[in-house]
């Protein structure tokens, strides 16, 4: 979309909360605890923190910088990056950008489905029905039935798109409400879980490293994949938020802030889920069933369980919608930049039609799983790799450093650049090869 049609973020914290909202989502709430539970607890956490630090300082800041330089989303940013090497390469870069952009749309389609299930659980928590059912039977009753959550699906897609009508301004306003409430809600839940008998075993598991696990390459691979997708460093989504940044902002500093709050969100979610699962001897790696079978079963057994169920699913809706905003905005911004005659309202209607049309075919959650596996095995790792190579191998070093150093009091030089060119690109290539060769869905 043309820059004049989009406002900048009005404040640094408004930007950070919006970026954190994009990063915080299902990857934090069930992905992080599940991978932590399967890969050594504290050992996984150490590896994860290493990759989060590297990817935020180098990869995330580069995506913010690229978006700000191009003043548009994915397609224009790739074109501009490749043009800096040779004007003749601009068209190729623009074409290449369609793949990571498609990744954003594919994730949006899948996310909208799962948030529709969360919204259904929220309503049945409010009515109290969820407190008196066999959660396994209840989940199966609608997760295996086609078109079982159509009204909730429509509410999620249309409601999220309505928050994008004013671009950065409406994204910022909604996240200033959703993100503080998300953190507050999960802190309340974590405090409640701490009183469960056996919760202490969960804390020991989380914060006592199994050093042998650090010798296992897959611990590092899983931590790396989780860090990539938790920070939304996928060669597309975060670019569009960078496009709304002013030139006086320090993008590296903002990237680190985003990573800090995203990591806190992941840890707070884990402080709810892992101790609760230890207390009830339940499988922490249950995936989607964790939200719809395991946690409701726990909530049925504790005092004021209905209230905490409402609180839990409210937080999950905030996390899902804030991530969905970014995916839709990344696609919408790029489409309107590529086809300038399109109005924002027209683009949002088009996104609604695409998302609802494809999403209805995935409404049984068992159709959703294979779809998201394809996205996370093929489209997203390839997109992240293409982005990393484009910024650090195709784009001129001088142009990238010029943009990175706008707004900073201590300029970044060769150390930052070569950390990106070698370490970050190596990590992206490794993730891509592991996903493609081993068919591992991150």
What are the backbone angles phi and psi of residue 363, rounded to the nearest 5°?
-60, -45
Residues 6+ apart with CB under 8 A from 137: none
Task: Look at residue 400 and tell me whether its pLDDT is greater than 90.
Answer: yes
Longest dimension (CA), the chain: 66
Percent of the chain with pLDDT over 70: 93
Indicate the burial class of 415 (C-beta count within 10 angstroms; 0-12, 13-18, 19 or more).
exposed
What CA–CA distances, in Å, run from 216 to 52, 356, 426? 19, 42, 19
3-state secondary structure of 389: helix
Question: Looking at the predicted structure, is the pLDDT value of residue 362 above 70?
Answer: no
Nearest partner of 270 among 17, 18, 21, 27, judged by Cα: 27
- pLDDT (0 to 100) of residue 2: 41
Token readout for 106 is 């594919």
pLDDT for 10 equals 73
Cβ-based neighbour number of residue 172 at 10 Å? 23
pLDDT digits over 321-342, tens only?
A: 888 988 999 999 999 888 988 8
What pLDDT, on the 0 to 100 scale, is given for residue 286? Answer: 66
**CA angle (236, 239, 241) in 5-degree steps:** 125
As a whole number, mean pLDDT of residues 145-149 equals: 77
Q: Which two tokens stand for residue 278?
A: 């230890």
What number of CA atoms fall less than 13 Å from residue 18's CA on the CB side?
A: 31
Tell me the whole-structure pTM to 2 decimals.
0.90
287 Ramachandran zone, left/alpha/beta (phi>0; psi -120 to 50)? left
At residue 97 the predicted structure's pLDDT band, cuts being 50, 70 and 90, is: very high
Over residues 278-293, the pLDDT tens digits come to 888 877 766 667 778 8
* Residues 6 or more apart whose Cβ sits within 8 Å of residue 263: 49, 52, 230
Distances (CA, A) of 170 to 165, 167, 243, 333, 336: 7, 6, 15, 14, 18
Residue 5 has pLDDT above 50, yes or no: no
State the DSSP string of 407-423. Answer: T-SS---HHHHHIIIII
Q: How confident is the model at residue 27 (pLDDT cuts 50, 70, 90)?
A: low
Q: Yes or no: say if 39 and 223 are a contact pair by the CB < 8 Å rule.
A: yes
428, pLDDT greater than 90: yes
Alpha helices, H only, 339-424:
344-359, 365-374, 380-389, 397-404, 414-418
In percent, the amount of the chain with pLDDT more than 90 equals: 45
Q: Please state at what angle helix 199-207 crosses helix 251-280, rounded to 10 degrees.
A: 140
Predicted confidence at residue 1, as pLDDT, reads 40
Which residues, 6+ apart, have CB-to-CB distance to 399 below 8 Å?
Answer: 69, 84
pLDDT tier at 375, thresholds 50, 70, 90? confident
* pLDDT (mean) for 42-59: 96
Question: Is the domain covering 3-438 a CATH 1.10.4160.10 domain?
Answer: yes
Q: What angle do CA 281, 42, 383 make, to 5 degrees?
A: 100
**Separation CA 322–CA 299 (nearest Å):** 25
Mean pLDDT of all residues belonging to the chain = 87
8 A C-beta contact, residue 231 and residue 56: yes
DSSP bridge pairs for 209: 41
- What pLDDT score does 4 carry? 43
At how many degrees (to 10) do helices 150-162 and 344-359 cross?
A: 160
**Domain range annotation of the chain:** 3-438
pLDDT of 403 reads 97
pLDDT, one tens digit per residue, over 150-196 is 899 999 999 999 988 877 777 888 888 888 888 888 898 899 899 99
Classify residue 341 as exposed, middle or buried by CB count within 10 Å of its CB (0-12, 13-18, 19+).
Answer: exposed
Lowest mean pLDDT among 170-174, 220-224, 433-437: 170-174
């Amino acid at each position: 979309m043309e820059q004049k049609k989009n406002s900048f973020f009005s404040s640094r914290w408004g930007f950070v909360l919006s970026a954190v909202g994009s990063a915080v989502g299902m990857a934090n709430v069930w992905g992080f605890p599940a991978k932590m539970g399967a890969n050594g607890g504290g050992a996984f956490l150490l590896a994860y923190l290493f990759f989060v630090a590297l990817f935020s300082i180098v990869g995330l800041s580069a995506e913010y910088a690229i978006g700000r330089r191009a003043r548009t989303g994915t397609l224009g940013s790739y074109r501009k990056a490749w043009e800096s090497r040779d004007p003749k390469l601009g068209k190729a870069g623009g074409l290449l950008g369609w793949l990571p952009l498609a990744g954003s749309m594919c994730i949006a389609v899948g996310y909208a489905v799962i948030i529709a299930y969360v919204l259904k659980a929220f309503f049945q928590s409010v009515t109290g029905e969820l407190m008196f059912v066999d959660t396994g039977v209840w989940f199966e009753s609608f997760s295996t039935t086609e078109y079982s959550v159509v009204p909730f699906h429509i509410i999620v897609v249309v409601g999220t798109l309505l928050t994008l009508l004013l671009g950065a301004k409406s994204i910022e306003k909604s996240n200033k409400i959703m993100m503080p409430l998300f953190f507050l809600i999960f802190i309340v839940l974590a405090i409640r879980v701490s009183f469960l008998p056996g919760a202490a075993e969960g804390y020991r598991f989380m914060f006592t490293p199994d050093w042998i696990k650090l010798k296992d390459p897959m611990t590092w691979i899983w931590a790396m994949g989780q860090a990539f997708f938790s920070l939304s460093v996928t060669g597309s989504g975060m670019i569009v938020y960078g496009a709304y940044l002013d030139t006086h902002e320090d993008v590296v500093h903002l990237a680190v802030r985003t990573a800090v709050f995203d990591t806190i969100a992941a840890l707070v979610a884990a402080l709810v889920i892992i101790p609760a699962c230890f207390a009830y001897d339940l499988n922490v790696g249950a995936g989607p069933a964790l939200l719809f079978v395991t946690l409701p079963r726990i909530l049925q057994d504790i005092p004021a369980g209905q209230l905490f169920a409402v609180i839990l699913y409210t937080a999950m809706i905030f996390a899902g919608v804030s991530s969905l905003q970014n995916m839709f905005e990344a696609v919408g911004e790029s489409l309107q930049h590529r086809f300038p005659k399109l109005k924002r309202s027209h683009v949002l209607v088009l996104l609604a039609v695409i998302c609802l049309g494809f999403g209805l075919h995935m409404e049984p959650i068992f159709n959703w799983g294979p779809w998201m596996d394809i996205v996370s095995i093929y489209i997203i790792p390839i997109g992240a790799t293409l982005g990393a190579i484009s910024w650090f191998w195709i784009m001129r070093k001088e142009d990238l450093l010029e943009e990175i150093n706008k707004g900073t009091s201590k300029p970044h030089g060769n150390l930052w650049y070569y950390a990106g060119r070698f370490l970050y690109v190596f990590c992206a290539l490794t993730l891509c090869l592991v996903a493609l060769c081993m068919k591992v869905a991150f």
